[in-house]
Amino acid sequence: MKIRSVLFVAAGCLSASVMADTNGFDADVVGQPPAGWHCGATGRGTPRWTIEADPTAPAGKVLRQSGSATFPWCVKSDARLADGWVETRFKPLSGKEDQAGGVVWRWKDGDNYYVARANALENNVSLYYTARGIRKTLKYVDAPVSAGQWHTLRVDFAGTAMSVSLDGKRYIEFADDHIAGSGAVGVWTKADSVTAFSEFAYHAARQ
């Protein structure tokens, strides 16, 4: 379900209440991709993005990736942001190669976008850009990421400046100009990560 709601942003992110677009997936059909989202993967493999029941999520449903591909992604088809923020709650469930949950922004297509992710196998947060289907690392920072637990991942971005926060704590501040202009926002995983996503919110900065 898409609603307009007032979110109070934690310290270290924005400093005031703002209007945000929030998705809770409660109106979506179990076993199907969410309505209004475009799902796929960068690279090879077969991602599987479906709505599933989860009593630990506020809405009782989650968006879950349970396939395996190089970099699975699922983006909001009607969201185009140049500057603003994006935030999601995610829970790493399993994965031998990776247990990652991430957000994407300025998504032009499946081969060009920014991504920030947290990884429960590595206990870190990282920032990347993907260009022509190749992922490039911008920064890694150690951070506690527990498997089987809900976490909140957030990115604020304006021009070349961007910051990445996990569970209300800012871990990365970075400047990069590889991908400019507006693009879609969404969620992301890696390899064999089975990851659940609950509330997803985003807000475009005033131009």
28 within domain boundaries: yes
Query: What whole-number percentage of the chain has pLDDT above 90?
Result: 84
203 within domain boundaries: no
* pLDDT per residue as tens digits for the range 49-84: 999 999 999 889 999 999 999 999 999 988 999 999
Q: Are 88 and 111 in contact (CB under 8 A)?
A: no
**Domain range enclosing 172:** 2-13+22-198
Given this model, what pLDDT does residue 31 score? 96
- Is the pLDDT assigned to residue 183 strictly greater than 60? yes
Q: Give how many domains the chain has, as a whole number.
A: 1
Given this model, what pLDDT does residue 193 score? 98
Quote the tokens at residue 60.
């009782």
Name the 3-class secondary structure at 153: strand
Quote the tokens at residue 100.
């990652």
Given this model, what pLDDT does residue 77 score? 83
169 within domain boundaries: yes
Given this model, what pLDDT does residue 3 score? 35
* pLDDT per residue as tens digits for the range 154-180: 999 999 999 999 999 999 999 999 999
206 within domain boundaries: no
CATH code assigned at 42: 2.60.120.560
205 within domain boundaries: no
What is the Cα–Cα distance from 96 to 120, expressed in whole angstroms? 11
110 within domain boundaries: yes
* pLDDT per residue as tens digits for the range 19-35: 578 878 989 999 999 99
Given this model, what pLDDT does residue 71 score? 98
* pLDDT per residue as tens digits for the range 96-138: 999 999 999 999 999 999 999 999 999 999 999 999 999 999 9
Q: Write down the residue that tokens 């934690």 correspond to.
A: 10
Given this model, what pLDDT does residue 15 score? 33
- Is the pLDDT assigned to residue 12 strictly greater than 90? no
Q: Write down the residue that tokens 């304006």 correspond to.
A: 158
